[in-house]
């Protein structure tokens, strides 16, 4: 699903103009991005949590030249932890043996 698909769906269900829905969706995403980029945790109940984690420094290897070690520095990454309802919905997609 793209942002455009989301806007069209919300617009058709609510009767709001697509431009207004797009503005609200974009502002929401902007505020989430802004908060996460400042290192804050964004918690959306029944959806999930966006947070910044620091990855440790590690040693990597080039598969073409495994004898050469490459130092990978520590860095900040965004992690998403899905909420309970989303987890349960996704688990339903697990194929049965």
Name the residue ranges covered by the structural domains of the chain.
1-38, 41-97
pLDDT at 14 over 80: yes
The answer to whether 88 and 72 are in contact (CB under 8 A) is: no
Q: What is the pTM assigned to this prediction?
A: 0.78
Helices in the chain by DSSP H: which ranges? 3-14, 18-37, 84-91
CATH number of 41-97, picked from 3.50.50.60, 3.30.365.10, 2.60.120.560, 4.10.520.10:
4.10.520.10
Q: Return the pLDDT at 67.
A: 83
Q: Which residues contact 27 (CB under 8 A, 6 or more apart)?
A: none
43 confidence band (pLDDT: 50, 70, 90): very high
53 confidence band (pLDDT: 50, 70, 90): very high
The per-residue pLDDT for range 77-97, each reduced to its tens digit, is 999 999 999 999 999 988 887
């Amino acid at each position: 699903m793209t942002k455009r698909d989301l806007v069209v769906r919300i617009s058709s269900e609510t009767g709001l103009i697509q431009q207004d829905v797009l503005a609200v969706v974009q502002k929401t995403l902007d505020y989430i991005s802004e908060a996460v980029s400042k290192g804050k945790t964004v918690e959306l109940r029944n959806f999930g949590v966006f947070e910044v984690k620091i990855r440790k420094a590690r040693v990597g290897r080039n598969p073409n030249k495994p004898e050469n070690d490459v130092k990978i520095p520590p860095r900040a990454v965004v992690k998403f932890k899905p909420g309970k309802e989303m987890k349960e919905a996704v688990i339903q997609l697990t194929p049965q043996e």
